[in-house]
């Protein structure tokens, strides 16, 4: 079984690093969300995850979901664990109090999602999809739809999904064939009703036994729809028609046709969903479905990034516990544990390098995610429009980076965990191979990581004539200029400055060459995203070192000393990858695009 304790001390450090108490509780509506409240919520979330979710992770993977006669059943214990989840109010953690939510900041939502993903990703996917559906409906639904459906999503008695993909199209959603036809009927609150017909695949949580109703947000095309993505509309299609008082009515024309047999996340039902003239209600304006759906997708992309982080943390903690317990050979400098026949493998340089690589990536990513999570709250609540725009720009810029880099990192760290365990990592007993299998999907869904890289270079970099870039470049440059003469910080600021210089040059290269030939930008995209992410982590590690050095040396605990040591490891052992990435970017598209198709 996986070894896991919620990393609350590090989460608190990340909140302090970005001055949470001076930022988020100062926002309108979040006055009560102080650190004391946050700490109490985290403590309770940790108990739920460790006591209720973690014990079901392996058994859920082994049993998986079952499908029979159109009915999907989740593994043993999942219904009870989900009930405990919603009874604790976790489904509505960041939801509007007007709909029964707790109204806590999005920063808290991201943090709790990490804990859930560390302990039981499959179970966490169900409320995660509901959270995305809530956001889309809250922003784009009519008052009638929100009044009827949001309270049910908030209390978790109803669930939500995203129904985008069809068998012939995934990323290119303009090709969808699902149709929506007005049927002349009137839905809840006087909403016009439509008949939705089509088939969607790869629908996470499309059918299950955890809730009494499921609300599907479905992309479809109206009869007068223009071609391509501009003709997509978004519809809410409930499994059961809802009555005006919220009671369940007749079964709708939507059914699960099959579930997928997957490499990982086996306790999460991934469904083929058939819509046969199912009643649905328009969300947002006609032919504006992509805008509404992106509300869900962007939230989901950040959440998927947290999945990578959560799985990485579980892999790291398990690997550390094993490395301290497993004895094999003697330390190269001589026996360290004379009372034992061999030394624990943590004495060996290669094992320590793997563990430090895992730790440096995880803690850096957690700090970066906290910065972006707080920016989400500022973007939504700050009274000053300029401040809201700046925060929103940062979130938009960092979303593809968090989704892609965090999930790549999660998979890499899980694999390192298996390597630390050696042969024992390859068998089911210790749970490491499950983490690898579960982590792999995060690099694929909600837009593959290659798509995230194209989004970064093709949309985010040129947006507003580079306006989004300034939200990251300016604070990093300011930090370097303010601290470059500080001798105590030299080991952290100088490597950051060099890597940041490479990022600036690479950005100019991608922008210039991309205008000349879009394939140049495409060939550089994935390497550029990774370069950007490594510099972002260098920035948060340099800020971490600054925060630790501000603590009087006599007062520094082992936690602080470990932070400085890990920061130094990151700067010397991981950040140098930016040099090779910079060289690969500058190699251009020719080595990739020159080979003829027939040669493959």
Report yes or no on 419 lying in a domain: no
Report yes or no on 205 lying in a domain: yes
Same domain for 97 and 188, yes or no, is no
Same domain for 134 and 173, yes or no, is no
Closest by CA position to 573, among listed 415, 350, 387? 350
Same domain for 528 and 590, yes or no, is yes
CA distance 577 to 590: 22
Same domain for 281 and 234, yes or no, is yes
Report yes or no on 196 lying in a domain: yes
Same domain for 475 and 600, yes or no, is yes
Among residues 278, 293, 308, the one where a domain terminates is 293
Report yes or no on 359 lying in a domain: no
Catalytic residue among 446, 594, 596, 597: 446
Task: Write the secondary structure of 100-116 as one string of H (helix), E (strand) and C (coil).
Answer: CCCCCCHHHHHHHHHHH
Same domain for 128 and 35, yes or no, is yes
The H-assigned helical ranges of 6-105 are: 8-17, 20-23, 35-48, 57-63, 78-87
Same domain for 83 and 44, yes or no, is yes
Report yes or no on 306 lying in a domain: no
For residue 299, the model assigns a pLDDT of 84
Same domain for 205 and 233, yes or no, is yes
**Dmax over Cα atoms in the chain, in whole Å?**
83
Report yes or no on 308 lying in a domain: no
What's 120's domain CATH number?
1.10.540.10
Q: Is 446 a catalytic residue?
A: yes
Residue 444's contacts (CB-CB under 8 Å, 6 or more residues apart) are none
What's 219's domain CATH number?
2.40.110.20
CA distance 524 to 587: 9
CA distance 65 to 71: 10
Same domain for 78 and 194, yes or no, is no
Among residues 261, 293, 325, the one where a domain terminates is 293
Report yes or no on 234 lying in a domain: yes
Q: Are strands 240-242 and 248-251 parallel, antiparallel or unpaired?
A: antiparallel
Q: What is the pTM of this model?
A: 0.97
Residue 575's contacts (CB-CB under 8 Å, 6 or more residues apart) are 495, 496, 499, 534, 537, 538
Report yes or no on 12 lying in a domain: yes
Same domain for 79 and 163, yes or no, is no
pLDDT in tens, the chain (600 residues): 799 999 999 999 999 999 999 999 999 999 999 999 999 999 999 999 999 999 999 999 999 999 999 999 999 999 999 999 999 999 999 999 999 999 999 999 999 999 999 999 999 999 999 999 999 999 999 999 999 999 999 999 999 999 999 998 878 787 899 999 998 888 877 889 999 999 999 999 999 999 999 999 999 999 999 998 899 999 999 999 999 888 999 999 999 999 999 999 999 999 999 999 999 999 999 999 888 877 778 888 999 999 999 999 999 999 999 999 999 999 999 999 999 999 999 999 999 999 999 999 999 999 999 999 999 999 999 999 999 999 999 999 999 999 999 999 999 999 999 999 999 999 999 999 999 999 999 999 999 999 999 999 999 999 999 999 999 999 999 999 999 999 999 999 999 999 999 999 999 999 999 889 999 999 999 999 999 999 999 999 999 999 999 999 999 999 999 999 999 999 999 999 999 999 999 999 999 999 999 999
Range of the domain at 588: 448-600
Same domain for 275 and 204, yes or no, is yes
Among residues 140, 166, 187, the one where a domain terminates is 140
Same domain for 473 and 600, yes or no, is yes
Q: How many domains does the chain have?
A: 3
């Amino acid at each position: 079984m996986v070894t896991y304790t919620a990393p609350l001390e590090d989460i608190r450090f990340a909140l302090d690093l970005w001055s949470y108490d001076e930022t988020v509780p100062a926002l309108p509506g979040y006055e009560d969300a102080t650190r004391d409240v946050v700490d109490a919520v985290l403590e309770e979330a940790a108990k739920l995850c460790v006591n209720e979710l973690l014990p079901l992770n392996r058994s859920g993977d082994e049993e998986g979901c079952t499908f029979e006669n159109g009915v999907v059943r989740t593994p043993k214990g999942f219904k009870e664990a989900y009930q405990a989840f919603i009874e604790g109010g976790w489904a509505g953690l960041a939801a509007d109090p007007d709909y029964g939510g707790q109204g806590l900041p999005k920063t808290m939502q991201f943090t709790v999602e990490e804990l859930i993903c560390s302990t039981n990703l499959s179970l966490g996917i169900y409320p995660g999809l509901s959270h995305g559906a809530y956001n889309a409906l809250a922003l784009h639904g009519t008052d009638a739809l929100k009044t009827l459906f949001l309270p049910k999503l908030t209390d978790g008695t109803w669930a939500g999904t995203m129904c985008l993909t069809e068998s012939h199209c995934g990323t290119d959603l303009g090709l969808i064939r699902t149709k929506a036809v007005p049927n002349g009927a009137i839905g809840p609150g006087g909403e016009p009703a439509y008949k939705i017909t089509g088939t969607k695949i790869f629908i996470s949580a499309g059918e299950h036994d955890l809730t009494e109703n499921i609300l599907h947000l479905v992309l479809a095309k109206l009869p007068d729809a223009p071609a391509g993505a501009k003709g997509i509309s978004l519809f809410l299609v409930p499994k059961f028609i809802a009555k005006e008082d919220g009671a369940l009515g007749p079964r709708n024309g939507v059914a699960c046709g099959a579930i997928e047999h997957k490499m990982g996340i086996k306790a999460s039902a991934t469904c083929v969903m058939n819509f046969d003239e199912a009643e649905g209600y328009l969300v947002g304006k006609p032919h504006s479905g992509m805008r509404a759906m992106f509300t869900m997708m962007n939230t989901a992309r950040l959440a998927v990034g947290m999945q990578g982080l959560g799985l990485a943390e579980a892999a790291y903690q398990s690997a550390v516990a094993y490395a301290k317990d497993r004895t094999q050979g003697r330390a190269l400098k001589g026996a360290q544990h004379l009372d034992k026949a061999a030394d624990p493998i943590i004495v060996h340089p290669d094992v320590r390098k793997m563990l430090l690589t895992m730790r440096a990536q995880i803690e850096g990513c957690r700090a970066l995610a906290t910065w972006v999570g707080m920016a989400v709250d500022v973007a939504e609540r700050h009274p000053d429009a300029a401040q809201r725009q700046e925060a929103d720009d940062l979130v938009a810029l960092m979303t593809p980076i968090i989704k892609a880099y965090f999930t790549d990192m999660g998979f890499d760290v899980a694999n390192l965990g298996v390597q630390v365990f050696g042969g024992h990592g390859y068998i089911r007993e210790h749970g490491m191979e499950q983490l690898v299998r579960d982590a792999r999907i995060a690099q694929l869904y909600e837009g593959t990581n290659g798509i995230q890289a194209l989004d970064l270079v093709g949309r985010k970099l040129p947006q507003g004539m580079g306006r989004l870039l300034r939200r990251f470049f300016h604070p990093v440059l300011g930090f370097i200029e303010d601290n470059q003469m500080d001798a105590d910080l030299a080991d952290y600021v100088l490597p950051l400055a060099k890597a940041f210089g490479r990022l600036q040059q690479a950005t100019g290269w991608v922008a210039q060459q991309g205008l000349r030939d879009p394939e140049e930008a495409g060939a550089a995209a994935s390497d550029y995203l990774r370069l950007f992410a490594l510099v972002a982590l260098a920035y948060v590690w340099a800020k971490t070192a600054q925060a630790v050095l501000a603590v009087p040396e006599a007062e520094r605990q082992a936690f602080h000393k470990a932070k400085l040591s890990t920061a130094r490891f990151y700067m010397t052992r991981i950040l140098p990858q930016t040099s090779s990435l910079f060289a690969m970017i500058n190699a251009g598209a020719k080595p990739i695009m020159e080979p003829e198709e027939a040669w493959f």
